[in-house]
C-alpha cells in the first residue's frame, strides 16, 4: 500500500507540471492582450488607413463591391499620371484571380476626359463616373489629398477607408485587398 501512494504522487505532479507548461503561455498572452497596455508597434496594412472611415452619401454604383477608385487629373481629364494609376489599379484587380468578381475599378475623371477608345481597349470593365453628377460632386470632398497617383478603396457599404500611393510597392495594395476580401463577408 505504501508503494502505490509514493508512485501516485510523482505522476500527479508530472501531469500538473505539463498542464502548467501548456497553460502558462496562454495565460501570459491573455494578460498581455487584455491586462496590459502593450501593443505591437507594427501594422499589417500597406496603404494609409483613413480614420475614421468616411461614408459616402448615396454610394450608388460603389455599393455592393469593393471599389478601387482613381480620380483623374490634368487638363485632359486623365494625363500620364492618371493613366499610370489606372494601369496599376487594373493589374492589381487582375492579380486577385477568383476574388476579382468582388471588386471593381472606378474612374472619376476630370474635365475634358476621356479618350473613350483608350479606356475601352485598355480598361475593359472600368466604371466611369462623371464628376459633374450630383452624387459624385458630393463625394469628392471626402477624398483626402493628394488625389494624383492615388488609389482609394471604398468598401461595399460605401465607406472610403484606405488610400494608396502608386509609387509605393505594388504588392502592398494587392495584399491588403486580398486580406480584406478573404476576411469580409460583404461585397
The secondary structure of 14-43 as a DSSP string is HHHHHHHHHHHHHHHHHIIIIISS---S--
Average pLDDT, the chain: 85
Whether 38 and 101 map to the same domain: the answer is no
Pairing of strands 66-71, 159-165: unpaired
Q: Which residue has the cell 496594412?
A: 45
Whether 23 and 114 map to the same domain: the answer is no
Whether 37 and 117 map to the same domain: the answer is no
Whether 38 and 62 map to the same domain: the answer is no
The confidence score (pLDDT) of residue 44 equals: 74
Residue pair 127/107 in contact (Cβ under 8 Å)? The answer is: yes
Whether 32 and 62 map to the same domain: the answer is no
The confidence score (pLDDT) of residue 154 equals: 95
- The three grid cell numbers given for residue 165, joined into one nine-digit string: 500611393
Peptide bond into 146 cis (omega under 30): yes
Residue pair 62/186 in contact (Cβ under 8 Å)? The answer is: no
Domain count, the chain: 2
Q: 37 or 88: which carries more pLDDT confidence?
A: 88
The confidence score (pLDDT) of residue 3 equals: 52
Q: Tell me the per-residue pLDDT of 21-60, one tens digit each, with 9 for 90 and over.
A: 999 999 988 888 888 877 766 667 888 999 999 998 877 8
Whether 177 and 128 map to the same domain: the answer is yes
Q: Which residue segment(s) compose the domain that 69 sits in?
A: 48-183
Maximum alpha-carbon separation in the chain: 98
Amino acid at each position: 500500500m505504501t508503494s502505490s501512494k509514493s508512485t501516485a504522487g510523482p505522476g500527479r505532479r508530472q501531469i500538473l507540471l505539463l498542464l502548467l507548461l501548456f497553460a502558462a503561455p496562454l495565460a501570459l498572452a491573455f494578460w498581455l492582450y487584455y491586462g496590459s497596455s502593450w501593443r505591437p508597434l507594427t501594422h499589417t496594412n500597406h496603404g494609409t488607413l483613413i480614420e475614421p472611415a468616411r461614408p459616402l452619401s448615396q454610394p450608388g454604383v460603389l455599393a455592393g463591391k469593393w471599389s478601387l477608385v482613381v480620380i483623374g487629373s490634368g487638363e485632359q481629364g486623365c494625363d500620364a499620371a492618371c493613366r499610370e494609376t489606372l494601369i496599376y489599379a487594373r493589374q492589381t484587380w487582375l492579380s486577385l484571380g477568383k476574388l476579382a468578381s468582388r471588386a471593381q475599378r472606378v474612374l472619376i475623371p476630370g474635365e475634358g476626359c476621356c479618350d473613350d477608345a483608350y479606356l475601352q481597349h485598355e480598361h475593359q470593365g472600368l466604371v466611369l463616373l462623371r464628376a459633374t453628377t450630383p452624387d459624385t460632386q458630393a463625394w469628392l470632398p471626402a477624398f483626402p489629398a493628394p488625389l494624383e497617383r492615388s488609389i482609394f478603396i471604398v468598401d461595399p457599404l460605401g465607406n472610403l477607408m484606405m488610400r494608396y500611393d502608386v509609387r509605393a510597392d505594388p504588392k502592398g495594395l494587392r495584399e491588403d485587398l486580398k486580406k480584406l476580401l478573404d476576411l469580409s463577408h460583404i461585397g
